[in-house]
Amino acid sequence: MKIRPYQPDDLEALYAISLATGNAGADASHLYSDRRMMGHIYSAPYASLEPGLTRVVEDRAGVAGFVVGAVDTEAWEAKLEREWWPALRRRYAAPPAADAARRTPDQRRAFMIHHPARTPSAVTREYPAHAHMNLLPRLQGRGMGSRLFNDWIGIAVESGAQAVHVAVNRDNVGAVRFWRKLGFVDLNLDELPPGRTIWLGRPHAENR
């Protein structure tokens, strides 16, 4: 297995991994009609707009994991608004806001494309950088996640990252445990909205 910089030919693998891990860490392929919907939100924009901060891990069967992120989350969300969401909004119709409880998974993601949630300022103020990481099951539990993140944080610090945060679905208990082992702590801030997302932060981005 090797960790290496992202290459444009890896994009389809990132889409596939996003789907294969999109159900709180489990396979989400049975939930979505559009197999690219998860990747449109969680991996492809980073690979397309911040390829220098995208790393993949490859084994004999191909690319099986990735880590992506941004040094300045607020600037990143503004960049998505300018350069990423407009084309997708032309492609996907916005579901009616009143039908939230009846939306399919595809419609929920389409709503996110039209109405992306901003990271709470309580998080970005103290932890301006952020990361996303996904590994296929064949790589999990083998120490590869730690190696991949450590590789990413090195290049992120070189790019100016300071404190870093992650957002995790609370149902993904394995991911929550993983980030805590890497020195991330739960952010119990009064300004955080209630919901299924757990926010974790690491005060010092560099490896310790």
Tell me the pLDDT tens digit for each residue of 112-158.
999 999 999 999 999 999 999 999 999 888 889 999 999 999 999 99
- Beta-bridged to residue 26, according to DSSP, are 23
Is 177 part of a structural domain of the chain? yes
Beta strands in 110-183 (DSSP E): 129-135, 164-169
- Computed over every residue of the chain, the mean pLDDT equals 92
Which has more pLDDT, 88 or 170? 88
Judge whether 15 and 56 are in contact, CB under 8 Å: no
| Residue-number span of the structural domain to which 92 is assigned | 2-202
pLDDT on residue 58: 96
CA 86 – CA 163 distance, rounded (Å): 30
Is 207 part of a structural domain of the chain? no
pLDDT band at 27 (very low <50, low <70, confident <90, very high): very high
- pLDDT tens, position by position, 118-130: 999 999 999 999 9
Cα dist from 183 to 6, 87, 129, 166, whole Å: 26, 37, 15, 12
Residue given tokens 């220098």 in the structure block: 52
Q: Which of 149, 139, 134 is nearest to 182 (CA)?
A: 149
34 exposure class (CB count in 10 Å sphere: 0-12, 13-18, 19+):
middle
Judge whether 130 and 58 are in contact, CB under 8 Å: no
By DSSP bridging, strand 129-135 and strand 164-169 are parallel
- Report the SS3 class of residue 73: helix
Average the pLDDT over each of 41-45, 83-87, 203-207 and give the range with the smallest value.
Answer: 203-207
| Ramachandran bin of 34, using left for φ above 0, alpha for ψ from -120 to 50, beta for the remaining angles | beta
CA 131 – CA 165 distance, rounded (Å): 7
Is 175 part of a structural domain of the chain? yes
DSSP states along 50-93: -GGG-EEEEETTEEEEEEEEES-HHHHHHHHHHHTHHHHHHHSP
Is 11 part of a structural domain of the chain? yes
Which has more pLDDT, 164 or 203? 164
Segment 42-69 mean pLDDT: 97
pLDDT on residue 193: 65
Is 43 part of a structural domain of the chain? yes
Is 155 part of a structural domain of the chain? yes
Instruction: Quote the number of domains for the chain.
Output: 1
Residue given tokens 């120490």 in the structure block: 143
Is 81 part of a structural domain of the chain? yes
> Which residue type does 42 have?
Y
Segment 183-193 mean pLDDT: 81
> Which residue type does 6 have?
Y
pTM for this predicted structure: 0.92
pLDDT band at 205 (very low <50, low <70, confident <90, very high): low
- Report the SS3 class of residue 124: helix
Segment 36-56 mean pLDDT: 97
Residue given tokens 């939930």 in the structure block: 31
Q: What is the CATH number of the domain that holds 34?
A: 3.40.630.30
pLDDT band at 87 (very low <50, low <70, confident <90, very high): very high
Is 208 part of a structural domain of the chain? no
pLDDT on residue 188: 80
pLDDT on residue 134: 96
